[in-house]
């Protein structure tokens, strides 16, 4: 029984929600291992749409255990709001099916405020954060001053940690010309939410180890995408955590020997939210058409996504960095009806040809894509559930992508509906 890691292989928004939901039916445990409620996964089950940000996708399925791992930064108020919203949709969320790692760092109200202050002050240099406090919370975690989930059980520890946080944040706010944080009001707010969170809290690494030893299938669910990784992405236009598959081990408390198969989620074209380089972006009718057909709006932010052709150079790089065994290719149906399609197979920079995405932000912004052109297909691929249902030109497009990224297609998604999926290889049987 293999344990499977699912990661985005582009800039996020690749359709991980549907794929993770499809896989979660075969899993016993689903684990979120990084990020926070800046992530957005949309699931469509029996024509009911569920929008998740912090909760693992397995939460909507009965009999599955969902775990928020230690690599996640948790906004307790956002978590409770999401639980309440799902409860209103008839989904039971209890301490029996949701566990929160006791060593998660918390996102506090002033983290959200600082995120917004910085973005507003950056003007044209904005990174494009979701303003949910993710980055500032990770900063405090790394600086060893964070308030963690386990601290909520100790009133004195809460006060002590808050004092340490305010010794850093209040001078920072003063320098920005913003009002100082009210210590007593903040402590009262934290202590009020603590009893609602603590029933879900446990040593999640032990729960996961027991599940592994019992031979249960564990699905590790990543957020964002590899090209938003704080080390390997388009820095500084990245998220504040490691989004690569290896983080599934560190962010859950299980060793890397527990990670058996890595599935990379990849759109049949490319999108990006927020600022940063995007070599294949189409700021024209093609990009507009991709956005409209693909309903390219952020689950969390509602922002329109930038759209462009498939970038095989970037995705191949993600395959190698992420140790990806196979891809789930999503939104193939969005390409239906295009007379021709293009795929980036290299870059030109200052007269040289590159076969990788450079690390320097200025170089990333200046590369020109080298395209290979493909014949499109007039037929509809939407809802296809076998290779026989696909046009020959669509299959040719898919096979060429496999060659260019040096990774096989494991799953092919042809609509948001979970059953509109072509299975080539079962990752859990790897």
Nearest to 37 by CA among 301, 303, 244: 301
Cα angle for residues 294, 296, 298 (degrees, 5° grid) = 145
- Residue 274, phi then psi, degrees to nearest 5: 85, -165
DSSP state of 148: B
Identify any residues that bridge with 208 across adjacent strands, giving them in sequence order. Answer: none
Torsions phi, psi of 354, nearest 5? -115, 145
Interior angle at CA 231, CA 332 and CA 342, nearest 5: 25
**Does 168 qualify as catalytic in the annotation?**
no
CA–CA distance, 200 with 142 (Å, rounded to integer): 24
**Given 21, 28, 37, 41, which residue is catalytic?**
41
Identify whether the C-beta of residue 374 lies closer than 8 Å to the C-beta of residue 341: yes
To the query of whether residue 333 is one of the catalytic residues in this protein, the response is no
Q: Which residues contact 359 (CB under 8 A, 6 or more apart)?
A: 235
| Per-residue three-class SS string for 22-65 | HHHCCCCEEEECCECCCCCEEEEECCEEEEECCCCHHHHCCCCE
Supply the angle between the helices 134-142 and 109-122 in degrees, to the nearest 10.
110
The DSSP annotation for 250-284 comes to: HTTT--GGG--EEEEEEESSEEE-SSS--TTB--S
The residue from 13, 75, 115, 420 that is catalytic is 13
User: What is the phi/psi pair of residue 67, to 5°?
Assistant: -130, 130
Ranges of beta strands (E only) in 78-184 are: 98-101, 105-106
Are 187 and 152 in contact by the 8 Å Cβ rule? The answer is no
Q: Coil, helix or strand for 227?
A: helix
> Token pair for residue 149?
């989930």
Q: Which residues are catalytic?
A: 13, 41
């Amino acid at each position: 029984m293999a344990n499977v890691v699912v990661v985005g292989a582009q800039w996020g928004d690749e359709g991980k929600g549907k794929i993770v939901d499809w896989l979660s039916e075969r899993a016993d445990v689903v684990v979120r291992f990084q990020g926070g409620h800046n992530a957005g996964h949309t699931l469509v089950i029996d024509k009911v749409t569920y929008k998740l940000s912090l909760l693992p996708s397995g939460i909507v399925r009965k009999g599955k255990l969902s775990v928020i791992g230690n690599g996640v930064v948790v906004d307790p108020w956002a978590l409770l709001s999401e639980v309440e919203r799902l409860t209103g949709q008839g989904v039971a969320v209890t301490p029996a099916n949701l566990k929160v790692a006791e060593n998660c760092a918390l996102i506090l109200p002033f983290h959200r405020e600082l995120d917004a202050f910085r973005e507003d002050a950056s003007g044209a240099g904005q990174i494009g954060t979701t303003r949910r406090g993710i980055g500032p919370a990770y900063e405090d975690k790394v600086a060893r001053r964070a308030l963690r989930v386990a601290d909520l059980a100790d009133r004195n520890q809460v006060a002590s940690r808050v004092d340490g946080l305010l010794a850093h944040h209040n001078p920072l706010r003063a320098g920005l010309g913003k009002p100082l944080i009210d210590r007593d009001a903040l402590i009262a707010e934290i202590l009020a939410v603590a009893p609602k969170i603590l029933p879900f809290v446990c040593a999640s690494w032990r729960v996961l180890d027991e599940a592994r030893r019992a031979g249960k299938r564990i699905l590790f669910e990543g957020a964002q995408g590899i090209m938003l990784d704080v080390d390997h992405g388009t820095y500084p236009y990245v998220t504040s955590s490691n989004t690569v598959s290896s983080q599934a081990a560190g962010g859950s408390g299980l060793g890397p020997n527990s990670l058996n198969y890595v599935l990379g989620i990849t759109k049949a074209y490319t999108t990006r939210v927020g600022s940063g380089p995007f070599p294949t972006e189409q700021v024209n009718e093609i990009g507009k058409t991709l956005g409209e057909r693909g309903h390219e709006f952020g689950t969390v932010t509602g922002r329109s996504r930038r759209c462009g052709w498939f970038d095989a150079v970037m995705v191949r790089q993600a395959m190698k960095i992420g140790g990806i065994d196979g891809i789930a290719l999503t939104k193939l149906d969005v390409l239906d009806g295009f007379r021709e399609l293009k795929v980036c197979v290299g870059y030109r920079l200052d007269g040289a040809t590159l076969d990788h995405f450079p690390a320097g932000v200025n170089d990333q912004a200046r590369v020109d894509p080298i395209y290979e052109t493909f014949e499109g297909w007039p037929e509809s691929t939407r809802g296809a559930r076998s290779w026989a249902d696909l046009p020959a030109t669509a299959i040719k497009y898919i096979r060429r992508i496999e060659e260019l990224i040096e990774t096989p297609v494991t799953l092919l998604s042809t609509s948001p509906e979970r059953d509109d999926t072509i299975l080539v290889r079962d990752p859990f049987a790897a």
